[in-house]
Amino acid sequence: MEYEYQSSSPDEKAFVEACRRYAIIFHGLKDGMLEITFKGKMKRYQQLHVLEFDPTRKRMSVIIKNEEGEVYLLCKGAESAILDRVIEGEKQITLQHVNEFATYGLRTLVLAQRKLSEKDIALFDAKLQDARTSLQNREEKLAEVFDFMENELHVLGATAIEDKLQEDVPKTIESLRMAGIKVWVLTGDKEETAVNISYSAGHFKQGMTELRLTKITDSIECAEAVRRHMISAENNFSQGKHNALIIDGTTLTHALYDHGDILRDLCHLCVAVLCCRMSPLQKAEVVKLIKNGKDAPVTAAIGDGANDVSMIQEAHVGLGIMGKEGRQAVRNSDYAFSKFKFLNRMLLLHGHFFYIRISTLVNYFFYKNVAFITAQLFYMFFSAFSQQSLFDSFYLMFYNITFTSLPIFLYSLFEQHTKQSTLLEQPQLYKKITRNRKLTKKYFIQWNALGLWHAVVFFFGVFLMFDGDITFYKDGKMMGNWMLGSVVYITCVLAVNIKLGLETYYWSAPIFFSYIFAFVGNVAMTSLYTGLLWPDLIISHQDFFHLFFVHVSCGPIWLCMILLIVIALLPDILIRCITDIQKTKNDSRRIDCQVYCYENATFGFDNTSEGVVST
């Protein structure tokens, strides 16, 4: 009979499937008994207790009773958590096998057992009952009971499991490095296993100088080792060599709490950092160490298991992978996806696009309100600082709600300032948006200075046109206050929408139709408002009646508006031209560099650290 096993732990599933290939078949639970076929003979076991795994103990156990009434405790876990508790069996040979497996990059576990007497079982049941019913420090008391039972073990042997890399992991890590993102690996694996996986994943590369901070149990010794490696790292860095730091959980206990600052400085001199044999809390502490640095980098943590949850929650951005180790990481993350390689597209493509969209949206909202409402400030100097408004309340209400909202809303959803293929093929473009570069004081001042310039052109241009008792109508009528405000308003609405068009590089159908809809909606709503005599209950005055139709029927006013819009947008057009020329030149340089790389097989990328991704 063929079985398809399911487990929250891929290691346990691998064990059961491997046993099946050797004629040891697990049939499952029946009538409260575990049924196992051992070389054709059925055996039944009663499961008495499960001592669940926790990252502090780094092991788990089950207590079972066989058909003869014998009770055994079966324990599996890291060799560092089990071999020290072994009193019988081939301890040294098992350790030798574990180290040998680790050099091949395999994940290792040690298996052990303990035969329990009736007295041991009775004592354990009593202690376990007391711990489980305790109202205070229940978790600590349970851990003490588990620790009490997992002693005097007889080692059975060691297992090794190949944890295959997902597709495109080396390519993804290299792309992140080229984008200026420093990658750290935080793992609970044995040192040798972690180092081999780092090389196979492209995290470590041949030629890197390995700096090891491992198996240090004294704070003073740790300080000396960190300072010694600091000097070596500085010398290597000055010579253009790449450093790779390897640190384990034991050393990290002293380094984090006693020498955190110098450890952080040492890590900044390293291209790659590997932290092995770590507990989940240590992973979170490492992320916290990075976050609190002087340069305050933005951190992202990515993981697929329950032991990654604390790290994911500590980072600025938590990323969960839907792996075979449950959904805890996904449930506690900000974003989740099925494969590690999707991180490349998420950051370098969607992250880039959304940052440009959001930064433009923020700057644009400040700009369009400065361009609009500053005219009211100028008008105060010509109205004796009275309470007279330049704009009708209808304009003030709907300027942000409808007349200028739809184009920028759809821009923030669909804009693609660069081709998708370009962003993925040239990860170094990501550096242009790091450190919030599009929302700096420089860009903020530039946008608002342009808004102020537009307000000056719109108000004083229209004001000068109205000055001198000039009329543009055949019947000789003069233009009053509301006509002045209406012309300034419509000029501003048209200009700020055209300004957004100058910022748009990707004219998709929704963006194109948003401008048409905004224009038609503006005309329709204004015509409805000014074309009807509304009841006094709705509008207290009718000064705006038919004003819009008089406005649009006057050719000189339209000519004036077009001239003012062109004058106002001249700096924006100039900025767009300069930006496009520089972009074209940079693209040409990149193409030349890529061709040179292909012909000469030599090319290097800057590894500047702008953030940290922990895995």
What is the C-alpha separation between 562 and 566, in angstroms, rounded?
6
Helical packing angle, 441-466 and 352-380, nearest 10°: 40
Token pair for residue 60?
């788990």
CA distances (Å), origin 229, targets 49, 213, 262, 265:
47, 9, 10, 11
Binding site for ATP: which residues?
12, 53, 76, 107, 187-189, 277, 283, 307-308
8 Å CB contact between 187 and 276 = yes
* Residue with tokens 């978790």, as numbered in its chain: 139
- By the 10 Å C-beta count (0-12 exposed, 13-18 middle, 19+ buried), 324 is classed as middle
Binding site for Mg(2+): which residues?
304, 308
8 Å CB contact between 421 and 352 = no
Q: Which residues contact 66 (CB under 8 A, 6 or more apart)?
A: 43, 44, 45, 72
Binding site: which residues?
12, 53, 76, 107, 187-189, 277, 283, 304, 307-308
CA distances (Å), origin 329, targets 93, 107, 452:
36, 21, 49
What is the C-alpha separation between 166 and 376, in angstroms, rounded?
61
What is the C-alpha separation between 337 and 324, in angstroms, rounded?
13
Q: Whats the size of the chain, residue-wise? A: 615
8 Å CB contact between 71 and 65 = yes
From the CB of residue 470, how many other CB atoms can be counted at a distance below 10 Å? Answer: 11
What is the C-alpha separation between 146 and 140, in angstroms, rounded?
10
What is the C-alpha separation between 203 and 174, in angstroms, rounded?
8
Encode 235-261 in three state secondary structure.
Answer: HHHHCCCCEEEEEEHHHHHHHHHHCHH
Rg (CA), the chain: 35
CA distances (Å), origin 533, targets 391, 480, 524, 538, 542:
19, 20, 16, 10, 7
CA atoms within 13 A on the CB side of 117: 4
SS3 49: strand
Q: Which residues pair with 37 in a beta bridge?
A: 25, 42
